Amino acid sequence: MPALALLDTPVDAFSVDCSGVFIPPSPNSSVDWSPSLSSSLYRIDGWGAPYFTTNPSGNISVRPHGSNTMPHQHIDLMKVVKKATDPRSSGGLALHLPLIVRFPDVLKNRLDSLQSAFELAIRTQGYESRYQGVYPVKCNQDRFIIEDIVEFGSSFRFGLEAGSKPEILLAMSCLCKGDRDAFLVCNGFKDAEYVSLALLGRKLELNTVIVLEQEEELDLVIDLSKKMNVRPVIGLRAKLRTKHSGHFGSTSGEKGKFGLTTVQIIRVVRKLRDVCMLDCLQLLHFHIGSQIPSTALLSDGVSEAAQLYCELVRLGARMEVIDIGGGLGIDYDGSKSGETDLSVAYSLEEYAAAVVASVRFVCDQKSVKHPVICSESGRAIVSHHSVLIFEAVSAGKQHETTPSDLQFLLEGYSEEARGDYESLYGAAMRGDGESCLLYVDQLKQRCVEEFKEGSLSIEQLAGVDGLCEWVTKEIGASDPVLTYNVNLSVFTSIPDFWGIDQLFPIVPIHRLDQRPVARGILSDLTCDSDGKIDKFIGGESSLPLHELDSNGCSGGRYYLGMFLGGAYEEALGGVHNLFGGPSVVRVLQKDGPHGFAVTRAMMGQSSADVLRAMQHEPELMFQTLKHRAEELSSVLKAGGDKGNDKLVVASCLARSFNNMPYLSVGTSTNALTAAINNIAIYYRDEAAVGDGGGCGKNGEWFYSVD
């Protein structure tokens, strides 16, 4: 039987139908490529506007002031990465990836845009009150983000929302520097300590509002307010009948997790009236669900809530505020369709107009004074201002079958395997690609079973695998998708992808003036089969990517960015496989040669940090390693051996305490060899930290030659 590899008729003359599968053209394609084509390919103009765009250099540019950004104010994201990662000797900050880049200018623009949208709606519709929003700190509790929001929003009394005791503590502290009229909305389940903190806020002249999530919380509020001699401001959260059908709609409706039913609302009103505190009830809160897809659904929910608000006024409550909760969505996929949880079919202006119109219409019908409109729009405020930068460190290449792989000798195979081979050969001669695939699968399965039984050697199995792989490639049926290994933990940095299938735009931040010639999925560093990204916006199961090239731009390094991830991801991220949080830089737009200034930089969590978070004691672990190294050194020296290798091992292990757990890309691949000429034992600067242990002045591990 002639070898299939020696057929005169090329097997690729017949092709399996691969319609719908994008296979990029070869790098030698004569078709020009440009950043604008990349912008269309990755939908940057859809999800990125008005903050992200491509520049003529083929890099992602940030427009920190949104549509008001002047051309000279654009910030080249690659320049920021270079500044952050270059060594200090070159003027860089020597930070390691992954890296979160925060743009406070974008954050300020989001706040200003939200405020302006409501002010426009109020002015054009003749609404006789104001908008006064709050930021729900659960979206991202980072200190500097919250301090920025309080500062940026102070001129229009922008406040905070808290849902736990630690959150109310940080909100109270931050709002001491804000406007006195800014709301501190206290949501979430409450005990006596939580309620006491909220009442203490009023003693500190903070505008705290205790929102009842459960009917039982009212007794705590009444009792503690009397004991502390504080007149509280009370709100209640209503369970509306309006809800949307997406994933985020599960928190709304009659069976939602939070809020009071109409029966419970009536009982609350009666009890407050009985204790002469009905005037304390001033706010109605509701939440339809995050990522409200359309203004039609929004208007329906707001109208229902406005009816409840007017009824509370009729019952004698001194109502002043309607809090529409969260739900202001962002367009993750750039489609503006509102058809999935990834998209919304409205702008900020359309959202604000729908809210104002719905409240005004109902209140005018009932002859009720227009209330202050409050919203808790966290996702829409912080998502855009944060970009996660990570690196592809390697890519699984499609195997090139060699002649030795195709050595398929019929001797030693079973009669059944020989029959499968003959069927495959016959299908190839007929040009029947579909049958070829069938017989390839049949031959492989049979030989695998024979290998498991011990009747085939590994060489024979490899011969079959090589043959089948070659046939599959020749008929055009091989999988064109590569696996790009990225220096990242999905569970730490993109937990919502793993937990709820939330998709975020992921794009190369450079080389956008070059045609991407491959498609790939992303595999992270964790030892977990779920640690991969194989779903992308636009319904894609792979991402157009460039080949990794050791001689390309940026020294061959290939950087990717995850965008619109500023809400929830950092707060929800864990330490699976003990991969800690990324490095962080805070970047402001500045006029000058570089166009930006890094105002804050922080290295990501070290191995010692994540070990400590899991109740380990890095100091004790280090001392154990140090003691073992010293013991071995003494024994080997007594035998006439310098014991260098043992000390080098101890030295390298100790150094790792201070490093981030991620791969050190671009450095020597053999740290042990590199350390041979620097034999040392690491130690903590005990004199600097006292008896309690810990690190030296800069939080680093030191070492000295023994």
Residues marked active site are found at 527
Q: How far apart are CA 561 and CA 557, in angstroms?
A: 13
* Token representation of residue 581: 């949080």
Cβ-contact 570, 581 below 8 angstroms: yes
Q: 260 forms bridges with which residues in the sheet?
A: 238
Question: Which residue from 161, 257, 273 is spatially nearest to 207, judged by alpha carbons?
Answer: 161
CA–CA distance, 212 with 285 (Å, rounded to integer): 9
Residues paired with 100 in a beta bridge: 388, 584
Which DSSP string do the residues of 494-537 spell out, in sequence order?
Answer: -HHHHHH-----EEESS-TTS---EEEEEE-SSS-TT-EE--BG
Contact 645, 615 (CB under 8 A): no
Contact 440, 472 (CB under 8 A): yes
Is the dihedral angle over the CA atoms 83, 86, 91, 95 positive or is it negative?
Answer: positive
Q: Whole-angstrom Cα distance, residue 372 to residue 354?
A: 15
Dihedral of alpha carbons 11, 15, 21, 26, sign: positive
CA 236 to chain centre: 32
* DSSP SS3 for 196: helix
Question: What is the number of alpha carbons within 13 Å of residue 684 lying toward its C-beta?
Answer: 21
Question: E strands of 563-696, at which residues?
Answer: 583-589, 596-602, 681-683
The two three-digit tokens of residue 450, written as one number: 């024979």
Q: Taking each helix axis as running N to C, give the angle between helix 104-125 and helix 348-365, from 0 to 180 degrees, rounded to the nearest 10.
A: 40
Distance (Å, rounded) from C-alpha 565 to C-alpha 169? 25
Cα distance between residue 605 and residue 287, in whole Å: 35
CA distance 508 to 559: 6
Question: Cα–Cα distance between 366 and 372 in angstroms, integer?
Answer: 16
Q: Is 284 helix (H, G, I), strand (E, B) or coil?
A: strand
Q: What residues are paired with 561 via a beta bridge?
A: 389, 507
Q: What are phi and psi of 52, to 5 degrees?
A: -130, 140
**Torsional sign, CA 334, 340, 346, 348:** negative
